[in-house]
Copies of this chain bind each other. A is one copy, B any other.
Amino acid sequence: MNCNDLLPIGELARRTGLAVSAIRFYEDKRLIEPIRTSGNQRRFLRSDIRRLSFILIAQRLGLGLTEIERELRKLPQGRTPNAGDWHAISGTIRKRIDAQIAQLEKVREDLDGCIGCGCLSLNKCALFNAGDKWGESGSGPRVLR
Contacts and interface: CB of A to CB of B under 8 A. Distances in A.
Q: Oligomeric state, in number of copies?
A: 2
Contact of A97 (B90, B108, B142): B108
Interface residues of A, number: 52
Interface string A6-42: 0000000001111100100000000000000000000
A39 B144 CA distance: 37
A127 B19 contact: no
8 contacts: A17-B134, A53-B131, A57-B111, A59-B143, A60-B145, A61-B107, A98-B108, A101-B101
The 8 A-B pairs with the shortest beta carbon distances in the complex, nearest first, are A83-B118, A56-B131, A97-B108, A86-B115, A17-B132, A17-B135, A87-B116, A101-B104
Contacts of A134: 17, 56, 60
